[in-house]
Amino acid sequence: MRIFLILLGKELRQFFLSPLAYVVILLFMLINGVSFYASISALTRSTSGANLVTWMFRTPWFYLSYFAVFPLITMRLLAEEQKLGTLETMMTAPVRAAQLILSKYVASVIFYIVLWLPSLANLYLFQYVTDGAADVPRGPLIGSYSMVLLMGLLYLAMGLFASSLTRNQIIAAILSLTLILLHYLVGFVAVYLSSARMLDLSEILTYIASVEHMALFTSGLVDTRPIVYYVTLAAFFLFLTHQVIEFRRWKT
Amino acid sequence: MIQVEHLTKRYPGRTAVDDVSFSVGRGEVVGFLGPNGAGKSTTMRILTSYLPATAGRVTVAGHDVFADSLKARREIGYMPENVPLYDDFRVKEYLHFRARLKGLRGRDCRQRVGEVMDLCGLTDMRKKMIGTLSKGYRQRVGLADALVHRPQLLILDEPTNGLDPNQIRQVRELIRHLGEKHTILLSTHILTEVEATCGRVIIIDHGKIKASDTPEVLQQRLRTAGAIEFEARAPVDDVAAAVRALPQVRRVLSDPMEEGWHRFIVRVDTGSDPREEIAALIAAHGWPLREFIRKQASLEDVFVELTQNQ
């Protein structure tokens, strides 16, 4: 645990003392702001009962910024250590691979959460300037932000895994983006299959489709099935990452 | 301190280390010498449990490096080749991080980091970013990192690689100083380094140990395979014929010099010393002589002989 905390400190330091972090935060806030503006104008034009939060996570702006963020956060993590050779100094110190990987993962999750905090401020600020006229409904808020966190848990684990496979950060970034988009697009395959009347398959795919989960959670419905799904799949990718790092010790 | 028994490491299609056995006792300073690609780094990576062995057993301070890896790692201060470091850390900060990672705490940690910075001459650099340091200082940071947790054993992979002559001397001085208190295994392909710092040399080539002894003994073993050189004013052919007639002589070479003088280089058989006979010959012919020396084989000759003759 002590080793883990020391490593976590090092990872967080490397996150927050690098210019990349602030570029990412800036980019994310910018697109988030546009997405927020788009959702407000969508809301004013719409006649449906949907609320501000629901709209915020449905604009294309949101997904545009959303998927770009994971490769940027995770590409460095293990690829750089391998490139610099610091993985060797790390793994010849009394450090377990699991401690190293978990510290990197937790640091990236913390960074991800920090990334999302300003968007929350957006909502409350809007509520404040409109003097409470704009309602920020509690249910959809909790739902959508926990969905964002859950998807983040999985996609960060995927990104970390991609980063463990190569010493080239660009390759790591492209790999993780591919993995994430593949996972995300499964939801659209489900839509296609249901229109092609392959309902059984479509129904199965719906269970693992992020778009469906998002729709569910943003309406304020917190379902435990997606929670279990994202957490276990994230754990599975962390396990894979561990195997990749430890594989070095098994190959003969 | 180190026990290596029948260590073998195979990569796909290549055997990097081939049935190597050696041991290093407490307090020894051992040089691991070999041409590039001989298997030095691989062996060191196995010793530090970064890589697994294909076969064989390695223990460090009584701990098996594979089964009991964490315990073994605590006893080792390792500086990998090319000294990988995080460029975005300050020197002191980095050493502090490494010290805590290796189990030092609180005041002891701060004190020890101060000590190793002093020892490695880094105190003035403590606030510098590692990325801005020169190669020599990076090397020192690596060394300080290897030392910081007071390990019994130091494993240094090419500690003077890429340094300028002044820096090399400084690092060697430091290693000699450290050798008084630590067991050290260092690898190098520079021969003078071993002569300058090590009590024992292990010569490795193509993954096999070619020799293991003190630098002096190794030189002695091959000393006689050296040469006798003299300068005489005499017809080349006469001298060559006369000297070659001696049974121990293998080859006679000559270089013409000014005014009829020649420099002769006589290669002789291993274990023989025909200096007396040659001197008697020269005296008998009455050739003027102005220099007569026996060239001792340097460690370099030993090295070349051992790593190229097979």
- Residues B62-111: pLDDT tens digits? 899 888 888 999 999 999 988 999 999 999 999 999 999 999 988 999 99
Mutate to test the interface with A, among B86, B96, B157 (most CBs of A within 10 A): B86
Averaged pLDDT, B282-310: 75
How many domains are there within chain A?
Answer: 1
pLDDT of residue A223: 84
Which of these, B258, B279, B261, B270, lies nearest to B297 by C-alpha position? B270
**B52/A249 CB distance under 8 A:** yes
- For residue A96, list chain B residues with Cβ-Cβ distance below 8 A: 70
Chain B neighbors of A89, CB-CB under 8 A: 78, 80, 84-85, 98, 145
Determine whether the interchain pair A252/B145 forms a contact, defined as Cβ–Cβ distance below 8 Å.
Answer: no
Q: What percent of chain B has pLDDT over 90?
A: 26
pLDDT greater than 80 at residue A61: no
Domains of chain B as residue ranges with CATH: 2-213 (3.40.50.300), 222-308 (3.30.70.3100)
Q: Does B145 touch chain A (CB under 8 A)?
A: yes
Give the pLDDT score at A195.
78
Greatest Cα pair distance, chain A, in angstroms, is 68
Chain A residues with CB inside 8 Å of B98's CB? 89, 93
A145-203 tens-digit pLDDT: 888 899 899 999 999 999 999 999 999 999 999 999 888 888 778 777 777 777 777 77
CA dihedral B153, A250, A166, A72 (to 10 degrees): -80
Average pLDDT, chain B: 85
| Cα three-residue angle B217-B220-B224, rounded to 5 degrees | 160
**How many residues comprise chain B?**
310
pLDDT digits 0-9 by tens, A68-123 = 889 999 999 999 999 999 999 999 999 999 999 999 999 999 999 999 888 888 88
Q: Does B150 touch chain A (CB under 8 A)?
A: no
Q: Which of B52, B70, B145 sits opposite A94 (nearest CB)?
A: B70
Average pLDDT over residues B44-61: 90
Closest-CA distance of chain B to residue A206, Å: 44
Q: Are A221 and A212 in contact (CB under 8 A)?
A: no
Could you give the CA distance from residue B6 to residue B22 in angstroms, rounded to a whole number?
9
Q: Please name the residue ranges forming H helices in A46-168.
A: 52-56, 60-84, 86-91, 97-129, 138-165
Question: What are the pLDDT digits (tens) for B181-224?
Answer: 889 999 887 777 787 788 888 988 888 888 888 877 776 665 55
Q: Which of A183, A117, A178 is nearest to A148 (CA)?
A: A117
Q: Please give the pLDDT value at position B257.
A: 85
Q: pTM of the predicted model, to two decimals?
A: 0.83
Task: Say yes or no to pLDDT of B35 above 90.
Answer: no
Nearest-CA distance from B141 to chain A in Å? Answer: 13
- Specify the pLDDT at position A5: 94
What's residue A35's pLDDT?
81
Q: Which residue of chain B is at minimal alpha-carbon distance from A5?
A: B101
Q: For residue B71, what is the nearest residue in chain A, using CA coordinates?
A: A94
CA distance B197 to B153: 16
| Residue A24 dihedral angles phi and psi, to the nearest 5° | -65, -45
Residue A128's domain comprises 2-250
By mean pLDDT, which of A61-65, A87-91, A124-128, B283-287 is the weakest? A61-65
B90 touches A: beta carbon within 8 Å: no
Whole-number percent of chain B with pLDDT over 70? 92
Residue A251 has pLDDT above 60, yes or no: no
Cβ neighbours around B73 below 10 Å, total = 24
Closest chain A C-alpha to B137 CA, distance in angstroms: 17
Among A162, A163, A69, A156, residue whose Cα is nearest residue A116: A69
Could you tell me which of B113, B119, B118, B98 has the C-alpha nearest to residue B175?
A: B119
> Quick one: pLDDT at residue A49?
60
Q: Which residue of B has its CA nearest to A3?
A: B101
Q: Give, as one character, the DSSP assignment of residue A221.
A: -
- Give me the pLDDT at residue A108, please: 95
The number of angstroms, rounded, from the C-alpha of B268 to the middle of its chain's C-alpha atoms is 28
Q: In the prediction, which pLDDT does B310 show? A: 44
> pLDDT value at position B112?
94
- Contact with chain B for residue A252, Cβ under 8 A: yes
CA–CA separation, A226 and A214 (whole Å): 10
CB contact under 8 Å between A249 and B84, yes or no, is no
Spatial neighbors of B68 by CB under 8 A, at least 6 apart, are: none
Output phi, psi for B63, to 5 deg: -105, 130
